[in-house]
């Protein structure tokens, strides 16, 4: 009787031949409770990111790498940051006091896109306008060296002549809509002065 009980208990404790010997060292898992599972709806606390203003030009240019980063990190204080004050160097900023570095990059990107569109418009004017007007635009570029100022003069001349805005399908393709003023005979010469403010001789 006792021998049979000993044999049955030892058979339960003995590892199964299908289970590796190393698996018997792990703790047995208990079955899940019969009660309803409680799921927490609280979101984990996330530390709010602090908006850091853009660093000054001197700190961005040097990019000093030392063990104590806090000693060389730009404090972004105006008019002079702590690092430039300690090293007694000139401190300059290219952004406003409330503009982050990321916002400054986005603003600069928008400015570059506008400049690119203006330059493409000026090149289309040189390629598509009559030779006399294109020569005048080119001469203005040579004399002023400012393509954006020349483009303003071209737009101003088109406005005074009553021309409609020009639409471009591509870089070299350009078409102009007919203007109500263009239906009447015009005595404007082909080569118009780009600057209407110039006094007459």
Strand (E) or helix (H) holding 166:
strand 166-167
pLDDT(107) > 80: yes
pTM of the model: 0.43
Mean pLDDT for all residues in the chain: 69
pLDDT(168) > 60: no
pLDDT(7) > 80: no
pLDDT(115) > 90: yes
The pLDDT value recorded for residue 14 is: 54
What is the mean pLDDT of the segment spanning 164-180?
41
Tell me how far apart the alpha carbons of residues 25 and 93 are, in angstroms, rounded to a whole number: 65
Domains of the chain: 52-99 (4.10.240), 116-176 (no CATH)
What is the mean pLDDT of the segment spanning 75-79?
83
Structure tokens that stand for 161 in this block: 């002549």
Tell me how far apart the alpha carbons of residues 159 and 31 are, in angstroms, rounded to a whole number: 84
Query: Is residue 28 very low, low, confident or very high in pLDDT (cuts 50, 70, 90)?
Result: confident
């Amino acid at each position: 009787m006792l021998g049979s009980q000993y044999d049955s208990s030892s058979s339960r404790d003995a590892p199964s031949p299908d289970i590796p010997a190393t698996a018997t060292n792990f703790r047995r898992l208990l079955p899940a409770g019969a009660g309803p599972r409680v799921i927490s709806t609280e979101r984990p606390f996330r530390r709010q990111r602090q908006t850091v203003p853009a660093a000054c030009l001197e700190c961005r240019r040097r990019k000093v790498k030392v063990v104590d980063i806090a000693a060389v990190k730009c404090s972004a204080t105006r008019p002079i940051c702590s690092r430039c004050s300690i090293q007694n160097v000139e401190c300059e900023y290219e952004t406003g006091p409330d503009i982050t570095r990321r916002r400054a990059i986005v603003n600069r990107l928008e400015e570059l896109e506008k400049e690119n569109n203006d330059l493409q418009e000026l090149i289309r004017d040189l390629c598509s306008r009559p030779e006399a007007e294109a020569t005048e635009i080119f001469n203005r570029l040579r004399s002023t060296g400012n393509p954006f100022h020349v483009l303003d003069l071209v737009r101003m001349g088109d406005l005074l002549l009553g021309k409609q805005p020009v639409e471009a399908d591509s870089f070299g393709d350009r078409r102009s809509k007919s203007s109500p003023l263009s239906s009447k005979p015009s005595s404007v010469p082909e080569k118009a002065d780009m600057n209407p403010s110039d006094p007459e001789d």
